[in-house]
Structure 1
């Protein structure tokens, strides 16, 4: 049994450590939430994958979505228990229709890593059906089927699913949610894809951005409604279900659209959602404050294991966009400012995530020195108190 003097010393040690961490700025609020994040790399100033791996583990991020199958990233996350979605780009969809090329792609990009890095899903193409390339649209399902058959031939189909990420704009109607429907001209493409998902038990991935809806019509759409803030909400007249935020309404409109074409056994997941911290003059709502509120409130909803009004027992499955600001992305200013973090590892804003390890990613030597000094001081204090307890 521990002596009272030893207990007193231990208690004193704990108080001193807490005091030192507090005054040195190292005591951070840890947001206990497990969520997914998109790791885009259209930038020339990003940290190495090894540093990103340490950053994400310190933030308790256990799901990552890539837009390719970067071997440096997959190697950096060896034995990390992080689950990966990896991607086959639109430019490679046609090649994947060839079974031998699909097998070769898996042998190069999946087999060498899957024993130590958890690859759980492969996306074939990105937002293909919202584009204008009808050849690519026609090739999408055959390519998905070919990749799945290649997984089967390699004995990997029980570990890895096959999907594709869609833009929310494939919906022709999304309000009220119960009346959600796909664009009529896309149904010949979507219905067979949904049949594939049903047969292979793979998720339907959708990129949903309430920001785009607000940007298009800020005069009619409540900012509080899109930011998960207190508001009057919106009631679906067909179901009497009340929605207090747009993202949940969008998710349920996708479920309704899927049901309208004959499927009720497909899981809808949000492969992208986020809010830009900066935008052009014609991008209302693209502010740092709104980005902080949107993503912070979203993470709180995820932590609560909430489901949508239509699927209350199914917690939302979300991949936040994005990990870093990406300075080489084309398009409006907002496209380069969706990141939760700057490339040097410092947060763009505070959404309650653990930040205790971020200083080691900073480009500032001073930050690293201070972190080391804090650690050394704690060791000295602990050693002195241990010696003191032995003398008492």
Structure 2
């Protein structure tokens, strides 16, 4: 998650205006395409081995890890957990040099694969076109991909980058989705790379930010999947929730950038349980449960096409900020106590 929440809220709003908790999740990544992000910006979390054991004991079959933390990678050896492995934004410039990318792949991928089930490498998270790191994203992606190809893994591990909805320009209705004039020169070459290599775009999808950015024009029930009927009519397509609308806006943007064959993995989605009026345990629980129940259905634009989705995040992170809400996105408290009555089966 981008920690500059206030800035992102305004940008996303601009884009989007136009039982009892079962101790064991009975879902695995094989039955529903749901994973959970392993955010670690905290000083009170369980150890890496405890975290991995907590994933597996709860039947959570997919993890997103934001950096190649060696303790976590070691703990994942032999675990039945599929992984999005992140390249931190601060490492992108270094990996724009081929030799450094080769060393990164050797140390963080080849040293663990296939004992660690790495599905994707997320080269940077929520880089914006005007960020200093933007110039290094595509070269780093290309170099990491080349290193994987040299190791015979070019088809097994997909290389992508994780983006946020502020890169969209027009996005209402979803069929009009495209990358903004500022983002298009940055994203079009990335999309061409994804189309060529068969990798999906990793997209962080947060109806929460769309809602709090413009609560007078964005309905809460639309953000929470609880609207009783169609909220947006887009030609023959009917939208009852903002999650689908954001995702289909991304699909339209990919098509407009020449990537009609590029899929999307939702690499983050979530709702805070505190810190703002709409950030309540009730709302967050409703949101997470509805995401879990919905992702197997696809979107109006891609009906029946399951949406691989990673919930943000496993635990509350006490060193996040600056917004208070950033401390409250966990499904669990750091002591492993559940915050919601979620049913994953």
Same structural fold, with TM-score higher than 0.5 when normalized by the shorter chain: yes
How big is the alpha-carbon RMSD for the aligned residues of Structure 1 and Structure 2?
Answer: 1.8
Q: Structure 2: state its 5+ residue gaps.
A: 1-19
Separation (CA, whole Å) in 1 of partners of 2:142 and 2:290: 37
Please state how far the C-alpha of 1:31 moved relative to its aligned partner: 4.8
Asked whether the 8 Å contact 2:200–2:265 carries over to 1, the reply is yes
- 2:232 — aligned with what? 235
| Residue number in structure 1 paired with 2:61 | 62
Q: 1:28 to 1:156 in 2, by over 3 A?
A: closer
Higher RCO structure, 1 or 2 (CA under 8 Å, sep 6+): 2
Cα separation, 2, equivalents of 1:26 and 1:226 = 23
Q: Distance in 2 between matches of 1:214 and 1:327?
A: 24
The residue correspondences of 1:223-302 to structure 2 (distance < 5 A) are: 223-237=220-234, 239-279=235-275, 283-302=276-295
Question: Counterpart in 2 of 1:341?
Answer: 332
In the alignment, is residue 306 of structure 1 matched against residue 275 of structure 2? no
Q: Report the equivalent of 1:319.
A: 310
Instruction: Check whether the contact 1:225–1:233 (CA below 8 A) recurs between aligned residues.
Output: no
Mapped partners of 1:87, 1:235: distance in 2: 35
Q: Is the 8 A contact 1:59 1:353 kept in 2?
A: no
Q: Contact 1:178 / 1:236 at 8 angstroms: preserved in 2?
A: no
Per-residue deviation, 1:76: 1.0
Q: For residues 174-193 of structure 1, what are the structure 2 equivalents within 5 Å? A: 174-193=171-190
Contact in 2 for aligned 1:214/1:221 (Cα 8 Å): yes
Is the aligned partner of 1:74 residue 2:65? Answer: no
SS at match of 1:181: coil
User: Which aligned pairs between 1:1-392 and structure 2 lie closer than 5 A?
Assistant: 31-32=26-27, 34=32, 35-129=34-128, 132-133=130-131, 135-237=132-234, 239-279=235-275, 283-302=276-295, 305-353=296-344
Deviation at 1:268, TM superposition (A): 1.2
Higher percent of residues as helix? 1
Q: Measure how far apart 1:218 and its partner are.
A: 1.4
C-alpha spacing 1:144/1:217, structure 2 compared with 1 (3 Å):
same
Structure 1 residue 261: deviation in Å? 2.1
Partners of 2:23 and 2:92 lie apart in 1 by 44
- Render the CA deviation track for 1:244-289: whole Å, top value 9, x for unaligned: 110011100110111112221000111110000011xxx3411111
- How far the C-alpha of 1:26 sits from its partner, in A, is 11
Cα distance in 2 between the residues matched to 1:65 and 1:51: 16
Residue 14 (structure 1) aligns with:
none
Q: Residues 30 and 137 of structure 1: is their aligned pair in 2 closer, same or farther, counting only changes over 3 Å?
A: closer
- Alignment check: 8 A CA contact 2:161 2:201 kept: yes
Asked whether the 8 Å contact 2:24–2:58 carries over to 1, the reply is: no
- State the 1:30 CA deviation: 5.2
Structure 2 CA distance for aligned equivalents of residues 44 and 66 of structure 1 = 17
Higher-Rg structure is 1
- Indicate the SS of the match to 2:169: strand
Task: Spell out, residue by residue over 1:51-83, the C-alpha distance to the aligned partner (whole angstroms, 9 max, x if none).
Answer: 112211122211111100111111112212211
Q: TM (normalized to structure 1)? A: 0.79
TM-score normalised by L of structure 2: 0.89
Q: Partners in 2 of 1:28 and 1:330 — Cα distance?
A: 30
Shift in Å at residue 48 of structure 1? 1.1
**Contact 1:29–1:353 under 8 Å retained in 2:** no
State the aligned residue count.
Answer: 322
Distance 1:301 1:28, change over 3 A: same
